[in-house]
Structure 1
Amino acid sequence: MPTALIPLAAGCEELEAVTLIDLLRRADITVTTASLQPGPVTASRGVVLLADTTLDAVLDQTFDLIVLPGGLPGATHLQQDARVIALLQRQHAAGRYAAAICAAPAVLAHAGVLDGKTATSYPGCVAAADYPQVTFNNAAPVVVDGHVITSRGPGTAMDFALQLIELLQDRACRDEVERGLVRQLA
């Protein structure tokens, strides 16, 4: 069964975090949520999330995917955490998937994971001038470039999660999860 790590930082975007956790688990992906600090995580709009574990407890584990929810100041907390940066760099060097949505692609850029890649993010959250080695596609809701996947924001969270399912499982699994969500009219 594929595995995914979702680090949760105070001020994360709850819609993105919960959508990712829920949809990936529907696809039989083993999802581990890890808080940067012990205890509950208060998201950007006051929703309190309880992580499965702490980041310290999973630092030596390997995951098929590390995916970062956005939101502010959640993405800033992720970017300022040396453990998160080291995990992303290790993930990238091993050729495993790294993904981020909303403001969190800035964390991937800061870690060097977006160097030479095409990516997207929430408008204004990643200054192209700060990362000239990254090509930004701000028209696409989800951008896949090799083992790096980025997305625009809360409104694209479901599309983002479904794309991750397709990459970690397959198209049939993605379609099955999407049918269960009753997203398609036909």
Structure 2
Amino acid sequence: MKLLADAPLVEVADGEYDVIVLPGGIKGAECFRDSTLLVETVKQFHRSGRIVAAICAAPATVLVPHDIFPIGNMTGFPTLKDKIPAEQWQDKRVVWDARVKLLTSQGPGTAIDFV
């Protein structure tokens, strides 16, 4: 699956969107992790009660290192399980934590369930 952005993040970061989705893949997730604008945008979505969704490597590579969801249950790519705190890890294909409006999925094989 190839994703192509309709607009650069800098043009839409302050927009009135209901959800932000972080697609997976380790290289993309590492770029997200290292982007101050992306991390601040995700934090703002969380603080304002909007949905944050992350798939594959994104939960372990972006959400956890920046401590965006310290109490949110999540899943992610199974080989990155050790990067997600044990008390938050859920060994499920898709995890929805309504308390913090966080939707996560394990990877490409769970993408249909994720949507």
Same fold by TM-score greater than 0.5 = yes
Rounded Cα–Cα distance in structure 2 between residues aligned with 1:133 and 1:127: 8
More strand by proportion, 1 or 2? 1
Identify the match of residue 97 of structure 2 among 129, 145, 148: 145
Structure 1 runs not aligned, ≥5 long: 1-14, 19-48, 162-186
Rounded Cα–Cα distance in structure 1 between residues aligned with 2:77 and 2:86: 18
Q: Shift in Å at residue 76 of structure 1?
A: 0.6
Q: Specify the alignment match of 1:3 in structure 2.
A: none
Rounded Cα–Cα distance in structure 2 between residues aligned with 1:77 and 1:144: 24
Q: Shift in Å at residue 158 of structure 1?
A: 0.6
| Residue identity in the other structure for 2:36 | A
Rounded Cα–Cα distance in structure 2 between residues aligned with 1:90 and 1:115: 15
Q: Specify the alignment match of 2:65 in structure 1.
A: 110
Rounded Cα–Cα distance in structure 2 between residues aligned with 1:116 and 1:77: 24
Mapped contact 2:52–2:102 kept (Cα < 8 A): yes
The structure whose RCO (Cα within 8 Å, separation 6+) is larger is 2
Q: Specify the alignment match of 1:136 in structure 2.
A: 89
Pairs within 5 Å for 1:14-163: 15=1, 18=3, 49=4, 51-106=5-60, 107-128=62-83, 131-132=84-85, 134-138=87-91, 140-146=92-98, 147-161=101-115
| Residue identity in the other structure for 1:78 | F
Structure 2 runs not aligned, ≥5 long: none
Rounded Cα–Cα distance in structure 2 between residues aligned with 1:57 and 1:88: 15
| Residue identity in the other structure for 1:117 | G
Q: Which structure has the larger Rg? A: 1
Once the two structures are aligned, what percentage of the paired residues are identical?
A: 38
Mapped contact 1:103–1:126 kept (Cα < 8 A): no
Q: Specify the alignment match of 1:45 in structure 2.
A: none
Rounded Cα–Cα distance in structure 1 between residues aligned with 2:85 and 2:112: 29
Aligned length: 112
SS in 1 for 2:96: strand
Rounded Cα–Cα distance in structure 1 between residues aligned with 2:81 and 2:103: 15
